[in-house]
Chains A and B, each alone.
Chain A
Amino acid sequence: MSTLSRARTGFHLFILLLAVAAACRVKERWQEYTLFFFDTLCEVQIYGRETQVSAARDETRRIFTVIEDDFSPGRQDLTSSLVIELFQHSRQVYLNTGACFDITVGPLVELWGFPSRAYHVPDAEEVRAVLLFVGTDKIRLEKNRIVLQPGMKLDWGGIAKGWAVDLAARALRDMGITRGYINAGGDLFCWGPNPDGRDWRIGIKHPRQKGFLGILSLRDGGVATSGDYQRYFEKDGIRYHHIFNPASGYPARERQSVTAIGPQAMLCDALATALFVSPQPEAILKKYPEYGAVLVSSRGEVITMGKFPNPGAFQIGPAMDQR
């Protein structure tokens, strides 16, 4: 090879190397996308390269589609491995919460007209009749399926969304996305620092007023809220909401809202419901020492209990602009 040819080859190699280097240096940046699943808005904000974000969006959509398909009312395959797995999680929470969280409230939800929005205040006799079909302890788990008694109906609304968030967050982290959050209608998981390099600031909606009850600061973990203002109807001046006390068959009356915080969005989701219903929320949190909660009583008192990432992690009142 002549000197000239060697020089040309070297030049071409140099150009090629430059191109490869440029391709490798695709910048990471914050990007957001929104999806509609579980009858609500799902927001995702992540830090990554364009290709990562595109793959993340596809993966989030795939996971949410699978969970929505398996756990939507009327589309329940009781032999699905996902259904069996989530049932096992649900049953554990049912046992740990003294039956305050119960996925078998489906017949109650229907009796009161929530799925169809044909709202109805049943009489005591109707409630008593439906309560015969409520109780996770009535479900039998066989090898490859769960078996319901006739008349029973599952309502996964208090746990499936949180689980979907956990699964999606885990998938995105496995893809190398080191910072972000996934928020499916208030059930959320965040990880890594926020765009300002600080903890994520999560506004908790005020159950009775416009604006926020307070701000949670969280670096890694899940959050979920159950409130009597999310789905309800009023009759004769009384608010009837969708969070039922599985023991009485009536909407729970102890709280206006409960926000749970902890390592998994799924458990936050379920605990928010259980703590909303339970007269002894502290006893429940003792069984979940990694979790904390912000409770708003029926009189509007704000009570915090359980574990928070640090003592200042929850601040009552609107936060200030710190940007």
Chain B
Amino acid sequence: MDRRHFIKTVLSTSLLTPLLGQAKSEEPALVLFLIGNHPHDHLPVLLADIGVEPSPSGNRFSFGNPHPSMDKIKDALGRAGWKYASPASSTSWVFSFQPLQHSARPSFTLIRDGKIVDVRSRSLSLLWTKMNSSEPLSDSLTIASFQATRQPSSQGRTAAIFIDGKKRGALALGKSQTRRFDSLGGEVVVGIEEGRAVVLASTCRHKICRLSLPASLAGERIVCAPNRFILKIEGPGFVDTVTG
């Protein structure tokens, strides 16, 4: 399989598009795509070759979703000096699994700063050729992404205020301000400071809303149940709803 075919195969997965978009929008971006049923056999070599050497304290990795070879990858990288850890926010690399829409020859590619790196010009060309020619077809795609590429891009734009289910206002997060709202149980005072919304005062009994962390990411909310009050951060959201 030539590289064009490989890229076409990978592009047919639903996961790549957002990853590529992310890789283009943020730096540093380093994403490794690996097709094959035995990612654990190749990941230590691949990651070492692209300049990721275990640090004295050990490179840390986690999994973005259940991976069929999770235990084997843990073992293989562990032997190479890597450390499994979580949550993902505390690790350098996150490995994810995605099934391909059709089987393809085992292969890999690397995207750095949004551009595909021609690995055939490096020492990995032998491995690339060997995987292509001797391993069975696979519909398993492993994606190894550098943690720095996984920062949120979800800063909200407005704090929408709902009282008893009805929208009563929207405060721009870009402008520092204080607003008072008459709710069913009394008054709720909302403050916007440095792009974050917070409840400054409320007439409710337990003040859970006032003790809530400031909200700034799209989808976040602060609720004052006694006052039937909801502050909801709106913006180019990436979630439909929230659990927890």
Contact = CB atoms under 8 A, between A and B. Distances in A.
B213 interface: yes
Contacts of B214: 210
Given A39-B225, A316-B88, A204 B243 contact: yes
Interface residues of A, number: 64
Interface in A268-323: 296-297, 300-305, 308, 310-323
B237 interface: yes
B51 interface: no
Nearest to A186: B243
B96 interface: yes
A51 interface: no
Interface residues of B, number: 51
Contacts of B242: 183, 186, 202-205, 212
Nearest to B95: A316
B76 to A, nearest CB: 19
B88 A311 contact: no
Nearest to A314: B65
B45 to A, nearest CB: 24
B134 to A, nearest CB: 26
Interface stretch (A30-38, A123-131, A241-249): A30-38
B173 interface: no
Nearest to A307: B66
A55 interface: no
Nearest to B150: A317
Most chain A beta-carbon neighbours within 10 Å: one of B65, B152, B213: B65
A201 B238 contact: yes
Contacts of B18: 319-320, 322
A17 B230 CA distance: 45
A219 to B, nearest CB: 12
A233 to B, nearest CB: 12
B94 interface: yes
Given A34-B230, A315-B65, A317-B64, A188 B243 contact: yes
Interface in B116-161: 150-154
Interface stretch (A100-108, A142-150, A221-229): A221-229
A318 B165 contact: no
A35 B242 CA distance: 16
A187 B244 CA distance: 8
Interface in A10-56: 33-36, 39-41, 43, 45
Given A211-B217, A296-B87, A316-B64, A203 B241 contact: yes
A34 B162 CA distance: 9
B121 to A, nearest CB: 31
A194 interface: yes
B22 A225 contact: no
Interface in B1-48: 14-15, 18, 21-22
Given A117-B206, A257-B244, A315 B217 contact: no
A262 interface: no
Contacts of B151: 318
Contacts of A211: 152, 154, 217, 220
B96 A315 contact: yes
B165 A34 contact: yes
B98 interface: yes
Contact of A321 (B15, B90, B237): B237
Contacts of A33: 165
A172 interface: no
Contacts of B88: 214, 302, 316-317
A215 interface: yes
A268 B220 CA distance: 22
B108 interface: no
B240 A259 contact: no
A177 interface: no
Contact of A304 (B65, B89, B221): B65
Nearest to B84: A301
B62 interface: yes
A300 B240 CA distance: 25
A194 B238 CA distance: 12
Contacts of B162: 34
Nearest to B205: A117
Contacts of A71: none
A200 B240 contact: yes
A301 B237 CA distance: 26
B154 A318 contact: yes
A35 B223 CA distance: 12
B244 A320 contact: no
A187 B162 CA distance: 21
Interface of B: 14-15, 18, 21-22, 62-68, 85-90, 94, 96-99, 150-154, 162, 165, 206, 213-214, 216-217, 219-221, 223, 225, 228, 230, 236-244
Interface of A: 33-36, 39-41, 43, 45, 117, 181, 183, 186-188, 190, 194-195, 200-207, 209-216, 223-225, 227, 230, 257, 259, 296-297, 300-305, 308, 310-323
Across the A-B interface, the 5 shortest Cβ-Cβ residue pairs: A205-B244, A203-B239, A316-B88, A318-B152, A302-B86
11 contacts: A187-B243, A202-B242, A203-B242, A203-B244, A210-B217, A310-B99, A312-B14, A313-B65, A316-B64, A323-B236, A323-B237
